[in-house]
Structure 1
Amino acid sequence: MKFSLAHKTAIVTGGGSGIGKAISKTLAAQGAHVMILEMNVANAEQTQREILEEGGKSSVYQCNVANQENVGQVVGSITKEHTIDILINNAGIAHVGNVEQTSETDFDRIYNVNVKGVYNCLYSVVPHMKEKGGVIINMASVASSVAVADRFAYSMSKGAVLTMTYSIAKDYVQYGIRCNCISPARVHTPFVDGFIKDNYPGEEKEMFAKLSKTQPIGRMGLPEEVANLALYLCADEASFVTGTDFPIDGGFIKLNG
């Protein structure tokens, strides 16, 4: 079977909802034992139930990726019984606003989850991966490399994710660790629906259509499409791929403007 992940253990942060849920289910369907690290345990357990019902393997750990001690404890628990083959740094939060609309509290909140959270997971997992190699995928964004209006703090954080990816790939290629990142444009998740509902009451259909059209292809991406790209990068079929950013954006980066 192509893209088999049989006998592999994968950590997916923020794996209980949205893109993270799709990645968790896709990796599990290909044979991986998926460790879902989530703040929201209810979401994680629902995803786990769906994986188990489909014959997959999954475990759930409550984890705040912004807390290094917590991450270290969770990773330590996992490595007592499993070798970590795959790390998906997916957990992240958003903020809308330019620099004048970004308070220090806003900035620190984004930094702590989107930047420090990725660092914390890398810091805990990489030493274990050095023994046998492994795969790391960081979830970046089109905002990592092109200007997106009113996304000052978010763009800062995703730019850092992009360059952390390059650093890990460079520093650990000799250990058999491959590190890449995925940069989605807008993806239709419950977060998007909630954002539109909260900020544009009564105009949901119009705003959904407007946001969809910002991708030249004319629609938002699907979580499963991002998950399929992640699956390829995790599999042995991508063994020659490292240190690369993979936009999945409906033409957003190259075809706009």
Structure 2
Amino acid sequence: MDRTTLDLTNRRGIITGAGQGIGRALALEFGRRGGHLLLVGRRLATLTETARLVAVEGGTTEILVEDLTQPGSVERIAETVASWGVVDLLVNNAGNVRAGRLELTRDADVHSMIDLNLTAPILLTKALLPALRQSGQRHGSILLNVSSGIALVGMPFYSIYAATKAGIAQFGESLRRELIGTGVHVATVYPGATDTAMMASQNAGADLGWGRRSLEDVITDLIAALEAGEHEINTAPEGRRAMQELNVTDPLAVDAALAPGLEALELAVRDHRSI
């Protein structure tokens, strides 16, 4: 697999879910490298704060308030960047989560996770792919999909979220192979539990296997791997990686390891919700 070093400077592109967490942190990283970014999210206030922080770092931004699950949102994003001339970055980061037993999950929450975590990034990538291809032929472009460590080890009480994150990972893998030779670098990042606002309502700790990494450490690893030209970027801590490896070789052993803590885990995650 090609691992040509990537130049992340002066990128012009779109970051979804840019109002907080990983999306905001990536906006700052590309901003300090001279990027011009379209910040997409649902809340003007948080996007405005991201734009201010990017400006401090030396980057420039435009803001587009959109709910990516609503009709017309993808078209409005594409229209916004149509006049740019160059679009060489797309970060599909926006996502949501609702944990709990499957039979207790509202149908609306099922649709919400699938629509935002999986359908929206696929449709947005489809709409922007011609521009990414064009830039890729000239100087290379980047498509970064934010999956999750839960795509590598499906955790109890996260069945729908895991399905969407595994789906976006396989979408990226398939598309990467489809785009070989086009200059479009397709990468997928698998963050483990990260200390962001999205995790604020989740109360599982390290004793239940949910030790969190700082956002700064996750982004440092992500950017270093992306600059090194990696396509599959795993930012999980070492303990979680051991479970990921065991899940490949002996998945029933993972089942057995998780079983004693199921009741405690359900109690700890039942209020985990960002929808």
The TM-score range, normalised by the shorter chain, is 0.7 to 0.9
Q: State yes or no: 1:152 paired with 2:159.
A: yes
Structure 1 residues 224, 58: closer, same or farther in 2, change over 3 A?
farther
Structure 1 residues 96, 126: closer, same or farther in 2, change over 3 A?
same
Q: State yes or no: 1:211 paired with 2:169.
A: no
How much has 1:139 moved relative to structure 2? 0.6
Per-residue CA distance 1:132-173 (angstroms, 9 max, x = gap) = 311111010111121212001101110101100111101112
- Distance (Å, rounded) in 1 between the aligned partners of 2:110 and 2:96: 11
User: For residue 67 of structure 1, what is the aligned residue in structure 2?
Assistant: 70
Would the aligned equivalents of 1:137 and 1:230 in 2 still touch at CA under 8 Å?
no
- Distance (Å, rounded) in 2 between the aligned partners of 1:84 and 1:60: 16
Count of aligned pairs: 236
User: For residue 228 of structure 1, what is the aligned residue in structure 2?
Assistant: 220
Per-residue CA distance 1:188-222 (angstroms, 9 max, x = gap) = 012322x04xxxxxxxxxx4xx5245558xx4112
- Once the two structures are superposed, the pairs formed by residues 44-193 of structure 1 within 5 Å of their partners are 44-67=47-70, 69-133=72-136, 134-193=141-200
Same amino acid, percent of matched pairs? 18
Please report the TM-score for the alignment, with normalisation by the length of structure 1. 0.84
Equivalent position amino acid for 2:134 in 1 = E
How much has 1:43 moved relative to structure 2? 0.3
- For structure 1, which runs of at least 5 residues remain unmatched after alignment? 197-206
User: For residue 254 of structure 1, what is the aligned residue in structure 2?
Assistant: 241
User: For residue 269 of structure 2, what is the aligned residue in structure 1?
Assistant: none
More displaced 10-residue stretch of structure 1: 220-229 or 24-33: 220-229
How much has 1:68 moved relative to structure 2? 5.4
Residue 205 of structure 2: SS of its match in structure 1?
helix
Please report the TM-score for the alignment, with normalisation by the length of structure 2. 0.78
Structure 1 residues 109, 99: closer, same or farther in 2, change over 3 A?
same
How much has 1:57 moved relative to structure 2? 1.4
Per-residue CA distance 1:72-121 (angstroms, 9 max, x = gap) = 22222213124111111000000102321223222111111001111121
1:6 is aligned, of 6, 9, 16, to 9
How much has 1:125 moved relative to structure 2? 1.1
Residue 130 of structure 1: SS of its match in structure 2?
helix
What RMSD in Å do the two structures reach over aligned CA positions? 2.1
- Distance (Å, rounded) in 2 between the aligned partners of 1:54 and 1:89: 22
- Distance (Å, rounded) in 2 between the aligned partners of 1:104 and 1:230: 34
1:40 is aligned, of 27, 40, 43, to 43
Would the aligned equivalents of 2:88 and 2:131 in 1 still touch at CA under 8 Å?
no
Structure 1 residues 128, 15: closer, same or farther in 2, change over 3 A?
same
- Once the two structures are superposed, the pairs formed by residues 11-22 of structure 1 within 5 Å of their partners are 11-22=14-25
Misfit runs of 4+, over 6 Å: none
Structure 1 residues 49, 97: closer, same or farther in 2, change over 3 A?
same
How much has 1:252 moved relative to structure 2? 4.4
- Distance (Å, rounded) in 1 between the aligned partners of 2:29 and 2:208: 27
How much has 1:234 moved relative to structure 2? 4.7
